[in-house]
Amino acid sequence: MVNRKTLADLRSRRWFAAGGMRAFAHRQRAQQMGLRREDLLERPCIAIVNTWSDLSPCHAHLRERAEAVKRGVLLAGGLPFELPALSLGEVMVKPTTMLYRNLLAMEVEELLRSLPVDGAVLLAGCDKTTPGTVMGAISMGLPTLFCAAGPMLNDRYLKPGEPARQVGAGTHTRMFWDEYQAGRVSEAEWVQLESHMTRSPGTCNTMGTASTMTSIVEALGLALPGSTAIPAMDAAHTRMATTCGERIVQMVWDDLTPRSLLTRGAFLNAAAVQMALGGSTNAAVHLIALARRAGVELTLDDLDAMGRKVPVLANLFPSGDRLMEDFHYAGGLPALMARITPFLSLDERNANGRTLAQNLDGVRALDDEVIRPLDRPVSAGGALAVLRGNLAPEGAVMKASAASPQFLRHRGRAIVFDDPGEMNRACADPALECEESSVLVLRNAGPVGAPGMPEWGNLPIPKKLLERGVRDMLRISDARMSGTHYGSCILHVSPESAVGGPLALVKTGDLIEVDIDARRLHLDVSDEELARRRAAWQPPKQTVARGFVRLYREHVTQAHEGCDFDFLQGTAPTAEPVIY
């Protein structure tokens, strides 16, 4: 193999191979850590960006995996350096990890920029650590390979007198919560359930945002084929991490940068994968943010067009009834991609140096129940629909495959909430006036309003309706929804209410119409009345006026634009630091 780069081209040599007192100090301080002078001068330096922390169960094993990556780097002749990065575990971080995705992206870009490294392996996998680390790496532009944390193991729940159920993270928590609220799960069982569904370290094992985003990164070509579905606790996961360490060294010599892989075709492949997976609606935000970092044109309309033609084939919760371990055994993402080749651009390249056509050659799905054939999809209707209308001029999204058929075309009276506390209290109140046909609306939950666009979009079903057996209603918000959740939820309404989007003008009792086939979201109020309401509208008071939250509110873009910071989008090169 012919290397495109030589030792003299390595970026790290600016730190270690120069003359003068500064380079002397760099070598001196590296030797202080026990490193040998000749290794600093003769090997590519590889960053292992690690999102491990003691409060991130999805990444709990990544310290050990970093050792496996190091082994691979050393075997291939590189020199590894583990760099800790912001650990965004979805469940513990408040108010929402989305508030910090861009902070992680900035951190990764600046870590790679400011230190003597030639390439990077990203160890991540929870919902925001995947897009956050990859966004930063795209902007920095060094050769980068993504090593997914991998999903947690499947779990089973046994209840006397009932058949055993496969249970997974997120989806079943919501199901059991609704049953508990309705009085069908006892207090003792509810406590017992705490130790179920999340059986091991690793990311959520449903097709939630984590698995959607790691799959998307694999489809983009930034992760090795078949790597992202390997369960976190499988020995194959450790071996895969070592292979990542080995591969990144060659990627440095080949100068295989993210932007050399990230074409529009690669992004459309990722969109096709999202649809075939029945993936999380959150991907609509992250995929557009990634594309903008790579300088690729990608809009909600591209995603909607893909959603209209690619059926859901992955039979995984919440659209189906299996879990990620099943998906791995069925062949993982390569097997799914082999099933949707008519919708893919097969000339796109992967970080392994091969084209998609070469990587899919001879690949086939091993279990037709888990990865369905095209003529027997889980849902022919598509995973994602983008709606527009006078309530969402810039778009809103709905995961049609996880919604109830009766709400795909619906007209109902709005019940409007201005904050989640008020909403939760009202929904628990038996006096709330509501019917199954009512449309629940939550506003001030978008990127600026919340801030950080939390996953509040799976609005609770009012308790009195739960007790009557109602399990789904039409719900609308400018928030996001957990990818593990399900229901007829219209999300990401853009522009959001806090910046004056039409959602701010809805009143309880207004009629709202939804037609998924027509991609229509309409507030049945006259233009004159809406103009009157707009004239009287006041933006909500913002309480936090300092620090990162202030920066966030001032610079975050709207959902249809990816919620990146306006000053981080685009392909302006990240300047190399001056070394004196």
Which of 58, 120, 426, 442 is close enough to bind ligand FES by CB under 6 A? 58
Instruction: Name the one residue in this structure whose structure tokens are 């449309």.
Output: 439
- Establish if 118 lies at the interface with ligand FES (CB under 6 A): no
Considering only CA atoms, which of 458, 273, 547, 299 is closest in space to residue 383? 273
Report the residue number, 72 or 208, with the smaller CB distance to ligand FES: 208
- Interface characters, 124-163, with ligand FES (x: CB under 6 A): --xx------------------------------------
At closest approach, how far in Å is the CB of 546 from ligand FES? 29
Note whether 277 binds ligand FES by CB under 6 A: no
Name which of 59 and 443 has its Cβ closer to ligand FES: 59
Say how far apart CA 225 and CA 215 lie, in whole Å.
10
Closest approach of ligand FES to the CB of residue 203, in Å: 4
Which CB sits closer to ligand FES, 169 or 337? Answer: 169
CB of 140 to ligand FES, least distance (A): 24
Minimum distance, C-beta of residue 91 to ligand FES, in the bound complex (Å):
5
Residue 203 as a binder of ligand FES (CB under 6 A): the answer is yes
> Which residues, including other chains, have CB under 8 Å from residue 19's CB and lie 6 or more apart?
none
Task: Report cis status (omega within 30 of 0) of the bond before 577.
Answer: no
Query: What is the nearest approach in angstroms of ligand FES to the Cβ of residue 524?
Result: 38
Q: Which of 30, 47, 91, 272 binds ligand FES (CB under 6 A)?
A: 91
Number of residues that bind ligand FES (CB under 6 A): 11
Task: Read off the DSSP letter of residue 208.
Answer: S
Q: Which two tokens stand for residue 512?
A: 């709202």
Binding mask 157-196 for ligand FES (x = CB under 6 A): ------------x---------------------------
Separation CA 80–CA 319 (nearest Å): 40
Q: Does 208 bind ligand FES (CB under 6 A)?
A: yes
* CA 425 vs CA 391, 435, 512, 527: distances in Å: 26, 17, 23, 32
Contact assessment for residue 553 and residue 542, using Cβ atoms and an 8 Å cutoff = yes
Nearest distance, CB of residue 127 and ligand FES, angstroms: 6
Q: Cβ(360)–Cβ(379) under 8 Å?
A: no
Sign of the torsion angle spanned by Cα atoms 88, 491, 203, 177? positive
Dihedral (CA of 6, 10, 14, 15) sign? negative
Binding ligand FES (rule: CB under 6 A), the pick from 104, 204, 316, 521 is 204
Q: Are 397 and 300 in contact (CB under 8 A)?
A: yes
- Would you say 58 or 68 has its CB closer to ligand FES? 58
Q: Which residue stretch of 21-29, 70-78, 86-94, 239-247 sits at the interface with ligand FES (rule: CB under 6 A)?
A: 86-94
Hey, what are 289's tokens?
């943010």
Instruction: Please list every residue from 245 through 274 that binds ligand FES, using CB under 6 A.
Output: none
Between the alpha carbon of residue 343 and those of residues 212, 269, 364, the distances in Å are 18, 8, 16
As given in the structure block, the two tokens for residue 267 are 């992004």
Distance (Å, whole) CA 383 – CA 281? 8
Q: Which is nearer to ligand FES, 169 or 223 (CB)?
A: 169
- List residues bridging with 312 in a β-sheet: 379
Q: Based on the shown chain and the rule CB under 6 A, indicate whether residue 316 belongs to the binding site for ligand FES.
A: no
Q: Does 90 bind ligand FES (CB under 6 A)?
A: yes
**Tokens at residue 90, please?**
């979805």
**Candidates 11-19, 83-91, 186-194, 354-362; binding stretch for ligand FES (CB under 6 A):** 83-91
Q: Is residue 395 within a helix (H) or strand (E), and if so which, with residue range?
A: strand 392-398
Chain residues that interact with ligand FES, rule: CB under 6 A: 58, 89-91, 126-127, 169, 203-204, 208, 210
